[in-house]
Amino acid sequence: MGLLSGKATCNTHGQDSSYFLGWQEYEKNPYDEVQNPTGIIQMGLAENQLSFDLLESWLARNPDAAGFKRDGQSIFRELALFQDYHGLPAFKKALVEFMSEIRGNKVTFDTSKIVLTAGATSANETLMFCLAEPGEAFLLPTPYYPGFDRDLKWRTGVEIVPIQCTSLNGFQITETAIEEAYQLAQKRHLKVKGVLVTNPSNPLGTTMSRNELNLLVNFITEKNIHLISDEIYSGTVFSSPGFVSIMEILKDRNCENTQVWNRVHIVYSLSKDLGLPGFRVGAIYSNDDMVVAAATKMSSFGLVSSQTQYLLSALLSDKKFTQNYISENKKRLKQRHRKLVSGLEKAGISCLKSNAGLFCWVDMRHLLRSNTFEAEMELWKKIVYDVKLNISPGSSCHCTEPGWFRVCFANMSEDTLKLSMKRLKAFVDSITTTLHNQSNRQSIKNSRRRSLTKWVFRLSFDDRVTGER
């Protein structure tokens, strides 16, 4: 062990979080309709598999792109050789246009201000390296994506201070909550360099309101700090209210050419909207030229392959395809979301009202033995090991209230979702029956105590009347 670095031997990666432990249990016993029908169903993975057929149809219609050809001629050698880490101009152009299209073309993006990264994970970590020193802090509203403990902290040494949000207002950010988080960082002698939010939220599946976004801009303006808006789920908004990008807020407030304009940064990826996490395509968008320059240099440690860029530049440049894909994907997400909510309701379980994402924020507080995180973990283990469903407990997302869980719905077939809801309902019914029986037994005991008390009282009364002792 003495021959290894402290980073290699430390235990701060976050891999021991229940969020990742659930994945490990799934991998040991994965559900398969034919090969392993009693296995664990993966409901802890936010993947979008609902629109693969649309992508596959495009590939079939465009064999040149899939075969790395241009006008029928192979460009394999061209793509296989070294490419500048600034990225292929054609792909960057197609990507920023797609980002604008997702936002209803209310905002536009400049290709000179975008940096390509190997997924949003790399984008967020790169921004941490660019904006903060080890030991400095970013404020994050809870609940937040469990992977941020790894992505933002592990290699950078940056600290996370939670903005405590609650179910009382649907976990929205308030002025009081964000100021309390800032003061907490001050007490811990941490210099706050910025705020990071996910919009739409992972794990809540909700879009941020204009009031929240304006609150954030006011806050970073007052404190002279940065704001990172992770908008990786921006294309998954399937019902009202619609998605509002932080860039739209800045333009509405005429923030161009101001200091705050350079302190707001956007993270994006094709992992969720197009369902391509394996392609490792992420991006940083910043109006700060120094951030763009530094992030571009850092991107050499995690490039997007030129083959991937070529293929996706052809796909995203097909406007007829992207328009149809965005519309149809939202319809499918809405339908699948409705099926999950309906299945949960049949099991006597409610969830936070949501309008985006690949998951629901599910309220199982009524199933807890007690209002504690220990009871939450007990329930989670039963659901993973007995019910055979891998879901993510709220404590892994740093939720302050025990009993909330993130449940994903877009990474499986409709039949698998039905089976998962059938398993969950049977489990809840068994708990309800047990609680009912316990209640009945307690009721009988109480009734006997009351009867005995009445008998003793009557006997005592009769003794007093007759004079007997």
What residue ranges of the chain are covered by domains with CATH 3.40.640.10?
65-321
**Dist. CA 14–CA 432, nearest whole Å:** 35
Closest CA to 68 of 59, 56, 80, 76: 76
Question: Looking at residues 144-159, what average pLDDT do you find?
Answer: 93
User: 389 has which bridge partners?
Assistant: 41
User: CA-CA distance, 143 to 149, in Å (whole number)?
Assistant: 12
Numbered ranges of CATH 3.90.1150.10 in the chain: 6-52+331-427
Q: Which residues are catalytic?
A: 145, 230, 232, 272
What pLDDT is recorded for position 380? 96
Q: Please state, in angstroms and rounded to a whole number, the distance separating the CA atoms of residues 269 and 233.
A: 8
pLDDT for res 313: 95
pLDDT, average across residues 146-154:
92
Q: How far apart are CA 305 and CA 50, in angstroms?
A: 25
Of 414, 368, 409, 420, nearest to 39 by C-alpha is 420
pLDDT at 11 over 70: yes
Residue 454, pLDDT > 80, answer no
Strands 69-70 and 73-74: antiparallel
CB 40 within 8 A of CB 384: yes
Reduced to 3 states (helix: H, G, I; strand: E, B; else coil), residue 166 is: coil
Question: Hey, is 282 helix, strand or coil?
Answer: strand
Computed over every residue of the chain, the mean pLDDT equals 91
Q: Using alpha carbons, list the distances in angstroms from residue 262 to 288, 307, 320, 466.
A: 5, 32, 34, 95
Q: In whole angstroms, give the CA distance from residue 125 to residue 435.
A: 47
Q: How confident is the model at residue 359 (pLDDT cuts 50, 70, 90)?
A: very high
Give the tens place of pLDDT for each residue, 63-94: 988 888 888 888 888 888 877 778 899 999 99
Of the candidates 134, 105, 41, 58, the one whose C-alpha atom is nearest the C-alpha of residue 329 is: 58
Question: Does the pLDDT at position 457 exceed 60?
Answer: no
Determine the Cα–Cα distance for residues 441 and 39; give it in Å rounded to an integer. 35
Q: Compute the Cα dihedral for 327, 328, 333, 338 and give only its sign.
A: positive
pLDDT at residue 293 in the model: 96
* Interval 277-291: pLDDT, tens: 988 999 999 999 999
Q: How many CB atoms lie within 10 A of CB 82?
A: 6
For residues 192 and 139, the answer to whether their CB atoms sit within 8 Å is yes
Residue 444 has pLDDT above 60, yes or no: no
Tens-place pLDDT, residues 44-59? 999 999 999 999 999 9
- Position 437 confidence tier, pLDDT thresholds 50, 70, 90: low
**Are 379 and 391 within 8 A, CB to CB?**
no
- DSSP letter at 107 equals S
CA 454 to chain centre: 59
Q: What is the pLDDT of residue 452?
A: 54
Question: Are the CB atoms for 273 and 234 separated by under 8 Å?
Answer: yes
What is the CATH code for 65-321? 3.40.640.10
SS3 145: coil
Mean pLDDT confidence for 354-380: 96
| d(C-alpha 414, C-alpha 428), whole Å | 21
307 by Cβ neighbours in 10 Å (0-12 / 13-18 / 19+) ranks as middle
Distances (CA, A) of 234 to 229, 244, 271: 11, 9, 11
Residues 6+ apart with CB under 8 A from 27: none
How far apart are the C-alpha atoms of 45 and 61, rounded to whole Å? 30
Give the separation between CA 310 and CA 94, rounded to whole angstroms. 10
Long-range CB pairs of 25-28 (<8 Å, 24+ gap) are 25/384, 25/385, 25/390, 26/390
Nearest to 269 by CA among 231, 238, 303: 231
Tokens of 6: 């402290």
pLDDT for position 440: 59
Ranked by mean pLDDT, the top range of 81-85, 157-161, 442-446 is 157-161
In angstroms, the CA 249 to CA 229 distance is 12
Domain 6-52+331-427 architecture: Alpha-Beta Complex (3.90)
**What residue type is 452 in one-letter code?**
L
